């Protein structure tokens, strides 16, 4: 700690010198931007200076840096002592770097450098050397309150034994532990000071290829993806624009939850949206007038509420899974091939030049070959335009060769007459090619059961084809589309007309990707330059049985083939205590998912999860209210009371609002996560974290894959406290084999 560390006086003096330099920079920046100007270049410069001033005043002076790394370069043996902060700070009079930006190449040593084997990249050059020191600082109001020297492997080896074994046990240093033990408010925070080595590899991965991250609950997936955006913008600002970066999140509430991270990281104008909100705007021009898209909440009611019709659930599941699958993508592509193969006659094109009685002709096979091979990479309508242009060029070649052979020289009027005649002939010929309209084509495919059966892969059962077709007919008769129709419609537009390239993204982040369909991610990939995409998620948290990714192979083998995706796994969980994660992992063990990676919690201990048993509802509500009040007294800021269903959360809110007047009910339509004491359905907790979670009526979760995933998601949200409630005499099947020493029975 600060008062004990041998270098405290030296480091405090360094901090004071840095703050003094920052004060001078603040004064100079204020002077520079004081006067208004009409000069555009000066306005741009002043705008940049104003941003620098705002950072220095709001954050830079308070906490100019959080880390230090000492690096001895090979060969030249120069020792660089680098102080690392959220932003770089440079003296304007000498241009000396006082603080290095965490995104700069040399700063990677702070996160990943391991003693003698350390290196960092400067463009194409690799700088090698030895990390002599990694140091973390806790700074408050210009004073150092903590100094923590990083545990490089050699230090661990010297003091603790074999380093890899020690690290695999979940070792965390003091500085990280201090950060993890903080309480949580209503917003996600940046982690630039505590980025771990495996997280740093993802943040700094090359931009030219997609990356897919399978990360357990609490591994920092979301935060890492947002820090990667900041890193890319900083290092590739000449070729990538932040306003052309897009973050896709699972719901609007989650967007507000992450809203403060990017500005904290110096990124202000990144686009943020849910897939549905973004894609619905693109698909609206395709939809017939008067048609509407049904609420995304409709499937939530069907699949998450009790007493639903099993056959209706099965039919919806078949339809929605099919429409979101890569099988649907393949069926759409087959539809275009079907149109080309059965509805285009590819007749011979010919005409007679009356002046010489010469017949000019292009064989139908040549036309077919041109259409299928020369222009196969183009959308259908553009292929038609390209074919017409190609046929005109071929006819012109034949015609002018004929004129040269006869030594005939036409005047301008004669040539214009020929051009007009040729255009009329080509226009007439092209009428034999059907002009496809996106929505009409989609409607034909999805509502014609025989056609769908013909074009869908043989391994798709007749029952699924029937369910897709009949239930889509019912939906379309009401002039309605559902959310799962959006991606296939956009993909079909890509095949027929092409998607607007002006709307393409320089880079895309897809968070909680397991709950998007493969086809939705495929559409996003089409709209992202060079497949520069960061996909993060956890298959174990895929709570929607009717949609979503069931294996990352759907992306790594089905979508990201060129270039191939880089695949990362994050198994270390930094959110919950050992006691909470041990309990949650047991739920996953019961369902044995093929790609399940159990979370390895950091060695941060806390209270055992509690199981509250009540004999009646009124007793349960009193126990819950008492526990919430206890946690508030302990200083916990965010407490979530979680029911399995929407109706259950409404019921809990009604029962508790008198005892807990500050309680807030949250539903799928809410856009803000307010912090404090909240009640919500389990599916809405996805991606969020709280100081404490009270899970209501765990006996309602049945022993199947989807309930187990839902319970797992809810159980992995708390940082400090987990409480489960159960009704006396009720069987909680997912807790049946939970070891009794994993929780406290109250």
Annotated binding site: 215-222
Which DSSP helix (H) or strand (E) runs through 46? Answer: helix 40-55
Peptide bond into 563 cis (omega under 30): yes
Q: Work out the angle at residue 378's Cα, subtended by the Cα atoms of residues 374 and 384, and round it to the nearest 5 degrees.
A: 75
Instruction: For residue 245, give the nearest of 516, 47, 533, 568 by alpha carbon.
Output: 533
Q: Using CB atoms within 10 A of its CB, is residue 593 exposed (0-12), middle (13-18) or buried (19+)?
A: middle
Residue bearing tokens 């004060």: 23
Q: Work out the angle at residue 316's Cα, subtended by the Cα atoms of residues 492 and 439, and round it to the nearest 5 degrees.
A: 25
Cβ contacts of 44 within 8 Å, gap of 6 or more = none
CA distance 479 to 394: 46
DSSP state letters, 165-213: HHHHTT---HHHHHHHTS---SS----TTT--HHHHHHHTS-TTS-EEE
CA distance 175 to 135: 9
Q: Residue 740 gets which letter from DSSP?
A: G
Coil, strand, or helix at residue 735? helix
If one counts every other C-beta atom within 10 angstroms of the C-beta of residue 281, the result is 11
Which DSSP helix (H) or strand (E) runs through 127? Answer: strand 125-140
Q: What length is written for the chain?
A: 746
Binding site residue list for ATP? 215-222
Q: Work out the angle at residue 126's Cα, subtended by the Cα atoms of residues 123 and 129, and round it to the nearest 5 degrees.
A: 140
If one counts every other C-beta atom within 10 angstroms of the C-beta of residue 280, the result is 17
Contact between 691 and 638 (Cβ < 8 Å): yes
Beta strand 610-614 pairing with 349-353: unpaired
The encoded tokens of residue 643 equal 């029911």
CA distance 578 to 599: 10
Contact between 663 and 678 (Cβ < 8 Å): yes
Q: Using CB atoms within 10 A of its CB, is residue 13 exposed (0-12), middle (13-18) or buried (19+)?
A: exposed
Residues 669/673/677/679 CA torsion (nearest 10 deg): 20
Contact between 689 and 720 (Cβ < 8 Å): no
Coil, strand, or helix at residue 528? strand
């Amino acid at each position: 700690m600060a008062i004990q560390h041998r270098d405290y006086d030296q480091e405090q003096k360094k901090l004071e010198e840095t703050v003094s330099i920052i004060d001078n920079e603040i004064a100079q920046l204020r002077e520079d931007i004081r006067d208004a100007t009409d000069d555009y270049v000066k306005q741009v410069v002043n705008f940049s200076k104003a941003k620098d001033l705002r950072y220095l005043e709001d954050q830079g002076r308070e906490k100019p840096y959080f880390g230090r790394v000492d690096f001895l370069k090979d060969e030249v043996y120069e020792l660089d002592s680098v102080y690392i902060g959220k932003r770089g700070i440079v003296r304007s009079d000498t241009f000396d770097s006082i603080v290095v930006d965490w995104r700069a190449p040399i700063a990677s040593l702070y996160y990943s450098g391991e003693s003698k084997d350390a290196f960092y990249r400067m463009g194409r050059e690799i700088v090698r050397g030895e990390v002599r020191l990694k140091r973390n600082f806790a700074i408050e109001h210009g004073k150092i309150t903590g100094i923590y020297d990083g545990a490089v492997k050699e230090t661990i080896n010297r003091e603790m034994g074999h380093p890899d074994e020690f690290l695999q046990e979940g070792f965390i240093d003091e500085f990280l532990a201090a950060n993890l033990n903080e309480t949580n408010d209503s917003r996600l925070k940046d982690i630039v000071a505590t980025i771990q080595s495996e997280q740093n590899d993802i943040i700094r991965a090359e931009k030219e290829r997609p990356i897919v991250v399978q990360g357990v609950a609490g591994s920092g997936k979301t935060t890492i993806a947002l820090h990667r955006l900041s890193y890319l913008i900083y290092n590739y600002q000449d070729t990538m624009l932040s306003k052309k970066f897009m973050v896709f999140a699972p719901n609007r509430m989650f967007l507000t939850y992450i809203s403060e991270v990017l500005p904290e990281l110096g990124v202000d104008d990144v686009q943020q949206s849910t897939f549905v909100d973004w894609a619905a705007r693109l698909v609206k021009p395709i939809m017939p007038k008067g048609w509407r898209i049904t609420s995304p909440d409709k499937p939530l009611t069907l699949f998450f509420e009790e007493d639903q019709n099993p056959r209706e659930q099965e039919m919806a599941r078949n339809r929605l899974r099919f429409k979101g699958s890569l099988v649907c993508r393949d069926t759409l592509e087959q539809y275009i091939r079907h149109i080309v193969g059965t509805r285009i006659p590819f007749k011979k094109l010919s005409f007679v030049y009356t002046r010489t009685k010469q017949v000019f002709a292009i064989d139908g096979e040549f036309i077919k070959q041109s259409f299928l091979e020369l222009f196969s990479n183009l959308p259908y309508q553009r292929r038609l335009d390209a074919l017409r242009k190609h046929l005109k060029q071929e006819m012109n070649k034949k015609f002018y060769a004929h004129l040269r052979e006869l030594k005939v020289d036409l005047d301008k009027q004669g040539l214009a007459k020929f051009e007009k005649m040729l255009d009329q002939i080509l226009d007439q010929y092209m009428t034999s090619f059907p002009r496809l309209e996106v929505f009409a084509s989609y409607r034909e495919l999805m509502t014609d059961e025989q056609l769908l059966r013909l074009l869908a892969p043989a391994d798709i059962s007749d029952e699924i084809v029937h369910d897709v077709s009949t239930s889509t007919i019912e939906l379309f008769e009401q002039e309605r589309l559902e959310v799962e129709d959006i991606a296939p419609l956009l993909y079909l537009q890509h095949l027929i007309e092409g998607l607007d390239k002006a709307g393409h993204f320089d880079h895309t982040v897809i968070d909680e990707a397991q709950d998007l369909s493969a086809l939705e991610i495929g559409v996003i990939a089409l709209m992202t330059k060079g497949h520069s995409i960061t996909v993060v998620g956890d298959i174990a948290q895929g709570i929607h049985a009717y949609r979503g990714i069931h294996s990352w192979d759907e992306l790594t083998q089905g979508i990201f083939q060129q270039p191939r995706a880089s695949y990362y796994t994050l198994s270390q969980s930094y959110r919950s205590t050992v006691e909470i994660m041990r309990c949650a992992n047991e739920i996953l063990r019961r369902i044995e998912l093929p790609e399940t990676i159990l979370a390895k919690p950091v060695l941060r201990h806390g209270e055992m999860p509690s199981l509250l048993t009540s004999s009646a509802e009124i007793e349960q509500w009193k126990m819950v209210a008492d526990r919430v009040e206890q946690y508030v007294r302990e200083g916990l800021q965010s407490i979530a009371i979680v029911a399995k269903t929407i109706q259950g959360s409404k019921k809990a809110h009604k029962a508790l609002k008198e005892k807990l007047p500050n309680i807030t009910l949250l539903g799928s339509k809410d856009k803000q996560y307010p912090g404090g004491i909240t009640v919500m359905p389990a599916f809405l907790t996805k991606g969020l974290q709280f100081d404490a979670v009270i899970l209501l009526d765990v006996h309602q979760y049945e022993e199947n894959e989807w309930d187990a995933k839902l319970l797992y998601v809810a159980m992995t949200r708390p940082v400090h406290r987990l409480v489960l409630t159960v009704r006396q005499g009720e069987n909680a099947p997912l807790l049946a084999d939970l070891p009794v020493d994993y929780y406290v029975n109250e």
